[in-house]
């Protein structure tokens, strides 16, 4: 292993222990959020759609660190990560949550209502259409945009964010200057960087969820992130790969 790379995880046992240790040494999520995650794991067939509680801790921390008051989430599922953004922006902030499935959106909205969360708006439909509409109707730009929906649309979501946030614009833009983009699953179990058979995940993933068009889209997205002169980018090799960008202009 080259010295510039992290040497924290020589095997699965160490990775698990480092993850558990990191979880217990990071600021706790409020109980209603961890409870919703636990409920999702128990009841939802696709509970693995949710980010991990450790990733949620990081995202809440990040949003607070950059002082985010308005967050756009693309891909909400049952609202777990959304609750994290809601907590981070606090009651006087706002979260817009985009979800394709009316069933998932309903579960999310019920959970928000049950926990008296009132700073989240859920918009049901294809996020590409919702983003287009939001770009002409929002009162203020977003401070942070989280991309966590269909992987094939990641390049489109990024193109839309850049197109609807023109520099030196006098009208409202989608993402403010200096705003943050966070994109989940951009390494896909490491397969985006190393799809060879030397990667033990390769055979497993090919059997289960491998989709060539997802991989092509993620490569394209990662290239766009680093090649855009308008973005400062850091690809964080944590969780399932977290693409982080800062809109410079
Ligand atoms: C990985 S899950 C989101 C998980 C959630 N962010 C969390 O961590 O708790 C992705 C979600 O995106 C939704 N989705 C997929 N394609 C979409 C699209 N074109 N527009 C809006 N939502 C979409 C799926 O229905 C699914 O609920």
Burial of 174 (0-12, 13-18, 19+ CB in 10 A): buried
Can you give the pLDDT at residue 246?
Answer: 98
Can you give the pLDDT at residue 12?
Answer: 87
- Pocket lining for ligand 1, CB < 6 angstroms: 49-51, 75-77, 80-81, 98-101, 104, 126-127, 148-150, 153
- The beta strand positions in 100-215, using DSSP E, are 120-124, 142-147, 175-184
Tell me which residue range forms the domain holding 121. Answer: 30-247
214 three-state secondary structure: helix
pLDDT < 70 positions in the chain: 1, 207-210
Q: Which one-letter DSSP state was computed for residue 47?
A: G
In this structure, is residue 86 part of a structural domain? yes
What's the number of domains the chain is made of?
A: 1
What atom of ligand 1 comes closest to residue 75's alpha carbon?
Answer: 12
Can you give the pLDDT at residue 210?
Answer: 67
In this structure, is residue 212 part of a structural domain? yes
In this structure, is residue 137 part of a structural domain? yes
| Parallel/antiparallel/unpaired status of strands 231-236 and 242-247 | antiparallel
Can you give the pLDDT at residue 242?
Answer: 98
Query: Which pLDDT tens digit goes with each residue over 61-81?
Result: 999 999 999 999 999 999 999
In this structure, is residue 9 part of a structural domain? no
Can you give the pLDDT at residue 205?
Answer: 74
CATH number of the domain residue 200 falls in: 3.40.50.150
In this structure, is residue 25 part of a structural domain? no
What atom of ligand 1 comes closest to residue 185's alpha carbon?
Answer: 1
Per the document, the length of the chain is 249
In this structure, is residue 19 part of a structural domain? no
In this structure, is residue 181 part of a structural domain? yes
Q: Report CA(168)–ligand 1 centroid distance (Å).
A: 32
Q: Report CA(148)–ligand 1 centroid distance (Å).
A: 6
In this structure, is residue 173 part of a structural domain? yes
Can you give the pLDDT at residue 121?
Answer: 98
């Amino acid at each position: 292993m080259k010295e510039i790379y992290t040497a924290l995880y020589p095997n699965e046992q160490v990775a698990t222990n480092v993850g558990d240790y990191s979880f217990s040494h990071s600021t706790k999520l409020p109980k209603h959020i961890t409870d919703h995650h636990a409920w999702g794991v128990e009841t939802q067939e696709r509970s693995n759609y949710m980010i991990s509680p450790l990733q949620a801790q990081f995202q809440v921390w990040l949003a607070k660190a950059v002082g985010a008051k308005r967050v756009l989430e693309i891909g909400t599922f049952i609202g777990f990560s959304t609750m994290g953004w809601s907590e981070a922006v606090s009651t006087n902030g706002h979260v817009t949550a985009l979800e394709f499935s009316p069933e998932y959106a309903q579960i999310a909205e019920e959970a928000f209502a049950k926990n008296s969360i009132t700073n989240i708006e859920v918009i049901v439909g294809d996020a590409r259409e919702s983003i287009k509409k939001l770009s002409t109707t929002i009162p203020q730009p977003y401070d942070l945009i989280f991309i966590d929906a269909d992987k094939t649309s990641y390049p489109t979501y990024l193109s839309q964010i850049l197109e609807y946030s023109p520099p030196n614009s006098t009208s409202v833009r989608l993402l403010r200057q200096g705003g943050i983009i966070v994109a989940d699953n951009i390494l896909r179990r490491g397969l985006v960087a190393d799809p060879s058979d030397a990667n033990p995940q390769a055979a497993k993933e090919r059997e289960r969820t491998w989709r060539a068009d997802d991989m092509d889209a993620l490569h394209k997205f990662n290239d766009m992130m680093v090649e855009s002169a308008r973005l400062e980018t850091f690809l964080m090799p944590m969780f399932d790969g977290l693409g982080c960008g800062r809109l410079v202009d």
